[in-house]
Amino acid sequence: MNEITHRIGIKSSPEKIYELLTTDDGLSQWWTNDVSGAADVGSIIKFRFNGGGPDFKVTELIPNKLVHWKHSGNVPEAWMGTEILIKLNNEGEQTFVRFTHLNWKEPTDFMAHCSMKWAVFMLSLKDFAETGKGKPFPDDIQIDHS
């Protein structure tokens, strides 16, 4: 299996970042402006980009430390069976976010595309937490001209 893994250090508290990862309002500040369903373990979060997009089931939550989702449904197809694991680790003035999108069957061009997109969304998460302004879809940084 293959995985995408990124680490970023944000000058913010684990509590604030955890909120940005576990609530509709928080998630909509950095990934996409259309998020619904974020709640406790067992909830299904719907992320939408111009109407379509993936669902994730929340499978584990440790407040201010860990968020674990499993992909749900069949869009995009290459994400079926994949999981998102996000761990928070406070070190002094910053909180490190270790993001992993795991269980990819193949390291395809699409996985490499998603790796870049997750990186720009991590920058968006950092920007929102530090400045109050992120770049969620549709204002996200473009990584190609497709």
Contact positions vs a copy of itself (CB under 8 A): 2-11, 93-94, 96, 98-100, 107, 109, 111-113, 115-116, 119-120, 122-123, 126, 141, 143-146
Q: Tokens 């402006």 label which residue? A: 33
Nearest distance from C-beta of residue 84 to a copy of itself, angstroms: 14
> Residue 75: what residue type?
V
- The secondary structure of 34-46 as a DSSP string is EEE---STT-EEE
Q: Based on CB atoms, which residue is closest to a copy of itself, 25 or 93?
A: 93
Q: Based on CB atoms, which residue is closest to a copy of itself, 15 or 25?
A: 15
Distance CA 70, CA 65 (A): 17
**Quick one: three-class SS letters along 71-95?**
EECCCCHHHCCCEEEEEEEEECCEE
Nearest distance from C-beta of residue 43 to a copy of itself, angstroms: 27
Nearest distance from C-beta of residue 125 to a copy of itself, angstroms: 11
Q: Report yes or no: 82 and 107 within 8 Å, Cβ to Cβ.
A: no
Q: Based on CB atoms, which residue is closest to a copy of itself, 75 or 143?
A: 143
Nearest distance from C-beta of residue 110 to a copy of itself, angstroms: 8
